[in-house]
Amino acid sequence: MIKFFSVVIPVVSVLTLLSACGYQQPEGHWVSIEASEVVFSGIKLEDEVKDKAYPDICVEAQGEVKAALLKALPAKIKPLSFTMADDKSDTGKIASDKARFDMVITHCELDVDQGGGSFAFYLTLTVQVSLHIADRTVMAYTMETYEQAVSSTPSPDFEFTFAEPKVRTLMLFDSGRVWVPDGAR
């Protein structure tokens, strides 16, 4: 008799596994975050960034990446504390003993190719991430991410995973440190 069982793996472990499988940090070095707390200002969609044919995909990317980061970042930045910025507050100014983590989606495009009775959807996101302490930018980095989904219908009911921006962002943080890619601030 064969028994099947399921294993529950936390999101952080899944993302760590994904990062080990395919994504690498750019060349760079670790820098200690000289702060007691990291304040996440959320993910902003730049004006006019939404794809004209599939605008909901950009909003979905914003929401899903934010949710994954809110769940996984606190463990990645320990021993520092982590909070989400209040939407009503001025996230441009924070106390000098805190770091502010910003994320902006500057480009969101979905291309569609048809061939052999199926449709291939190619999602491209350009994401800017930065970490600031007081008036100083500790790290600023822009990444371009890609994802593909295939469907038999031109207007599919599929789900992109948005794994690449999630994993690559989480790879920038570890134990109170931030990875500063070469050529980045």
Number of folded domains in the chain?
A: 1
Three-class secondary structure assignment of the chain: CCCCCCCCCCHHHHHHHHHHHHCCCCCEEEEECCCCEEEEEEEEECCCCCCCCCHHHHHHHHHHHHHHHHHHHHHHHCCCEEEECCCCCCCCCCCCCEEEEEEEEEEEEEEEEEECCEEEEEEEEEEEEEEEECCEEEEEEEEEEEEEEEECCCCCCCCCCCHHHHHHHHCCEECCEEEEECCCC
Whether residue 20 lies inside any domain: the answer is no
pLDDT of residue 25: 84
Whether residue 26 lies inside any domain: the answer is no
pLDDT digits (tens, 9 = 90+) for 78-107: 999 999 997 655 555 677 889 999 999 999
Whether residue 111 lies inside any domain: the answer is yes
Whether residue 108 lies inside any domain: the answer is yes
pLDDT of residue 13: 39
Portion of the chain with pLDDT greater than 90, in percent? 54
10-residue averages of pLDDT along the chain (185 residues) = 38 40 85 96 86 82 95 96 77 78 94 87 94 93 93 72 94 96 77
Whether residue 14 lies inside any domain: the answer is no
What CATH number is given to the structural domain containing 63?
Answer: 3.40.50
pLDDT digits (tens, 9 = 90+) for 1-24: 443 333 333 433 334 444 445 788
What is the span of the domain harbouring residue 105? Answer: 31-181
